[in-house]
Amino acid sequence: TVAAFDSFRFVIKGGLAGAAVYMAYDQGLLGSGTQGAEALRKAQAALPPAIQEWTSYLGWEVRAAQLPPTPKFDFSPSDSWNKGVQTVMSALSVAPTRACEYTVEGWKYVKDLVK
């Protein structure tokens, strides 16, 4: 029975993970930077009405003045992507030089230990 319960939990978690990946793909989060920026704008526009709907569904009376303002993100997925690509390419361009330097330092260390 414990194995069946663990299997059931694995199936549930796998289903939730698959659904999350599908939703991210469907909303354009796994696409280009402009698609990600558009998805972020959609989420920012949909958040306040969704909160109002949930609070009315739960029976809570929430006035607009009580709700905190929606956070404004100054985030550009395309700029972040480009910065990440530049960082990776920079690291790859100096990798052979750094590997040679570390090899020389390693040999010096080994020679000092052998003395």
Is residue 42 within 8 Å of 26, Cβ to Cβ?
no
Question: Where are the alpha helices (H) located in the chain, listed in sequence order?
Answer: 2-26, 33-58, 77-114
Which residues contact residue 81 at a Cβ distance below 8 angstroms, ignoring those fewer than 6 apart?
A: 33
Give the number of other Cβ atoms within 10 Å of residue 36's Cβ: 21
pLDDT tens per residue across span 22-50: 887 777 777 777 777 777 777 777 777 77
Domain boundaries, the chain: 31-114
Please determine, for residue 89, whether its predicted confidence score (pLDDT) is greater than 80: yes
Please determine, for residue 63, whether its predicted confidence score (pLDDT) is greater than 60: no
The larger pLDDT score, comparing residue 79 to residue 103, is at 103
Is residue 40 within 8 Å of 72, Cβ to Cβ?
no
